[in-house]
Amino acid sequence: MTAASALRLVDLCALDEVPPGTMKMCEVGDDLVLVVNLSGELHATQGICSHQYFELDKGFLTGGSITCALHLSRFSLADGEPLDPPAELPLAVYPVVVEGGRVMIEVPPGPLEVNR
Ligand code: FES
């Protein structure tokens, strides 16, 4: 079995729940995943900031990045890297698959990767 075939699809929400320019927090077990629709391009990141415990859906979309509302670190939605202090750790980002009107992430089995 190859590593790729071991990946699983995790259903997050309906595509029409996340119109372009919006974001939505989704629960995956005990974890939260933030789904962002940037002009039709879907991204998924860990839902909690990598700096302290704060929900990123309370922040704002700033172009191709998300700004955490607590201490205003910006993170790239492409790779999760912090663009401003105080955050130093990247957000975990998950590959998105859109199929049949559903938004899913393709991740290895087991707990989601989360940086904190
Ligand atoms: S909790 Fe997000 S920048 Fe501090």
The closest residue, in CA terms, to atom 3 on ligand 1 is 71
Q: How far is the CA of 41 from the centre of ligand 1 (A)?
A: 25
List beta partners, residue 93.
45
Say if residue 19 is preceded by a cis peptide, omega within 30 of 0.
no
Atom of ligand 1 nearest to the CA of 73: 3
DSSP annotation of 3: T
Atom of ligand 1 nearest to the CA of 50: 2
Atom of ligand 1 nearest to the CA of 72: 3
Residue 94: burial class (beta carbons within 10 Å; 0-12, 13-18, 19+) = buried
DSSP annotation of 48: B
pTM here?
Answer: 0.93
What is residue 7's predicted lDDT score, i.e. its pLDDT? 95
Contact 75, 83 (CB under 8 A): yes
CA–CA–CA angle 83, 18, 87 (5° rounding):
20
What is residue 63's predicted lDDT score, i.e. its pLDDT? 86
The closest residue, in CA terms, to atom 1 on ligand 1 is 52
How confident is the chain (116 residues) per 10-residue block, as mean pLDDT? 74 98 96 96 98 98 95 98 98 98 96 94
Domains assigned to the chain: 4-107 (2.102.10.10)
Residues whose beta carbon lies within 6 Å of some atom of ligand 1 = 49, 51-52, 54, 68, 70-71, 73, 86-87
What is residue 2's predicted lDDT score, i.e. its pLDDT? 53
